[in-house]
Amino acid sequence: MSIFHKQLILPELQMVDEKELEEDREYLIEMYPARAKLIMVMVEDACDRLEYEGSPMFAMYPDKETILGISRNIYDKVSYKDSDENLKHLIDVMVFNEFYVRRSRYKRRRKFF
C-alpha cells in the first residue's frame, strides 16, 4: 500500500472516550505541587466562565491579550509582593494549555454532533 493512499476510518472508530481522557488528566494534575494545584483550580474556573458558544475561547484565532489578561488576573491573586516572572510564565502556560485542552474537546464534540 502506498504512503499516499488515504485509509478510510469509520467515525465510530475515531471516537475518543472523553471520560477516560479527563480522568487521566485529573490524575496527572493531582501530581502537581500544591501551589500549582491552586493555580490550576483558578485557571479552570476562569476557563469555565468562557466555555459557551461564541466565546473568545473558541474563536478561530483567540486573542492573545484576552488570554494573557486571564493570566494576569490569576497572577495578581496568587503572587506575593515581589514580582515573580517565573510564576507569571507558569500561569501563562497553564492558561494557554487549558485553552488548548478545551478547544480540542470542543472541536471533537462538534465533529461528531
How sure is the predictor about 2, in pLDDT bands with cuts at 50, 70 and 90?
Answer: low
Ramachandran bin of 54, using left for φ above 0, alpha for ψ from -120 to 50, beta for the remaining angles: left
Q: Where do the domains of the chain lie?
A: 40-45+60-113
State how far the Cα of 30 lies from the Cα of 23, in Å rounded to an integer.
11
Contact 75/91 with Cβ under 8 angstroms? Answer: yes
User: Could you tell me which of 23, 103, 97 has the C-alpha nearest to residue 61?
Assistant: 103
Q: Spell out a b/e string for 48-77, using b for 16 or more CB atoms within 10 Å of the CB, else e.
A: eebeeeeeebbeeebeeeebbebbeebbee
Q: What is the pLDDT of residue 110?
A: 74
The percent of residues above 70 in pLDDT, for the chain, comes to: 83
Q: What is the pLDDT of residue 111?
A: 66
Tens of pLDDT, residue by residue over 77-109, are 998 877 899 999 999 999 999 999 999 888 887
Mean pLDDT, range 1-16, rounded to an integer: 53
State how far the Cα of 47 lies from the Cα of 76, in Å rounded to an integer.
17
Mean pLDDT, range 30-50, rounded to an integer: 96
